[in-house]
Amino acid sequence: MQALLNRRLLWVGGKGGVGKTTVAASLAVLAAGRGKRVLVVSTDPAHSLGDVFDRTLGDAPRRLLANLDAMEIDPDVEVEAHLQRVTQQMRRYAAPEMMQELERQMRLTRQSPGTQEAALLERLARLMIDDDAPYDLIIFDTAPTGHTLRLLTLPEAMAAWTDGLLAHNRKSAELGKVLDHLTPKRGRDVATPFDDPTEDPLDDLDERTRDVAKTLINRRRLFHQARRRIEEVDACSFLFVMTPERLPILETDRAVRALEDADIPVAGTLINRVIPHQADGTFLASRREQEAHYLTRIDELFARLPRPKLEWQPTDVQGIEALEALAAQLEQQGF
């Protein structure tokens, strides 16, 4: 599992409540302690990364240790920045009397389904391909399956949107030429065919359409580059955190299979909150019996993957000191 921290990108995910944020933070502390420059990023709108570090985090990286920065991406900030760019672009073409309605539409777009996710995916993609960023390792604290599968399919979606736009405008340009030549103009008494039948209709795209097409092409290129990064085994790894309980096991099994079906290799699973051997009492004895059944099931389902374990901690993990202690346990597990 040591190879995980030698990658450029590490995605840590799992079902809600299994401790993936704590694990992501501890791995970040462990890697930083080895001299790596680390950025750990939370993409969950209900952030808890700052709570684990016991620090206030925002949308920009904050230095927590000598080699460790952390941030919590705010989807609202991403949406606002995107809509401001769109509004500024529209001001170049829209009549002044239309701007009030256009701005109203922009305000409605803020709450539209998928707006936050689209903005979040674009921010993730930019982080993934930024080779100039001052980090050796970027750890994403997120639910990786949905984001990853969307990033894999977005290049094709962007290609379809771009090609559709250009095809539509090609037809519009051709129709415009026909109408132009069929409509008598000053100094012209009769309609004539195209003056240059070899002329490319794309040359007639207006400035607004060119800008939109350029924007789509650039986003298409961005998501394509991000997709290539996800598929680079030596650059990107996925670690799933689960607890030895029925629902986390089922969800992790589905998530791992979804990524493997997309030819995305999963580096391993981490089994969190295993009952310590020294814990005693009738209640814990019963829980340990059930846990043994689930651990056997995990071994069966994920035999192809490394399966390190972390024991259940006696207290909540919060603050740098507690994370350093947990990082030491992760190191003992082969990280």
Given pLDDT bands bounded at 50, 70 and 90, which one contains residue 140? very high
In angstroms, rounded to a whole number, what is the distance separating the alpha carbons of residues 240 and 307? 10
C-alpha distance from residue 109 to each of 78, 102, 116, 221, 297 (Å)? 13, 10, 10, 24, 45
Quick check: is 103 in a domain? no
Quick check: is 266 in a domain? yes
Three-state SS sequence of 83-117: HHHHHHHHHCCCCHHHHHHHHHHHHHHCCCCCHHH
Quick check: is 231 in a domain? yes
Domain total for the chain?
Answer: 1
pLDDT on residue 78: 79
* DSSP β-bridge partners for residue 65: 68
pLDDT on residue 244: 97
Quick check: is 87 in a domain? no
Quick check: is 90 in a domain? no
Quick check: is 92 in a domain? no
In angstroms, rounded to a whole number, what is the distance separating the alpha carbons of residues 231 and 262? 9
In tens, the pLDDT along 258-316 reads: 888 888 889 999 999 999 988 888 889 899 999 999 999 999 999 999 999 999 999 99
- Copy the structure tokens of residue 151: 């990033």
pLDDT surpasses 60 at 335: yes
When comparing pLDDT for 205 and 322, which is higher?
322
**Mean per-residue pLDDT of the chain:** 83
C-alpha distance from residue 13 to each of 159, 194, 216, 240 (Å)? 29, 59, 30, 5
Quick check: is 63 in a domain? yes
Share of the chain above pLDDT 90, in %: 46
In tens, the pLDDT along 184-229 reads: 444 444 333 334 444 444 455 566 666 766 777 787 788 888 888 9
In tens, the pLDDT along 72-129 reads: 998 788 788 878 877 787 777 777 888 888 788 878 877 777 777 778 888 888 999 9
Query: Domain containing 52 — which CATH number?
Result: 3.40.50.300
Quick check: is 97 in a domain? no
* Domain assignment of residue 36, given as a range: 2-79+110-184+193-332
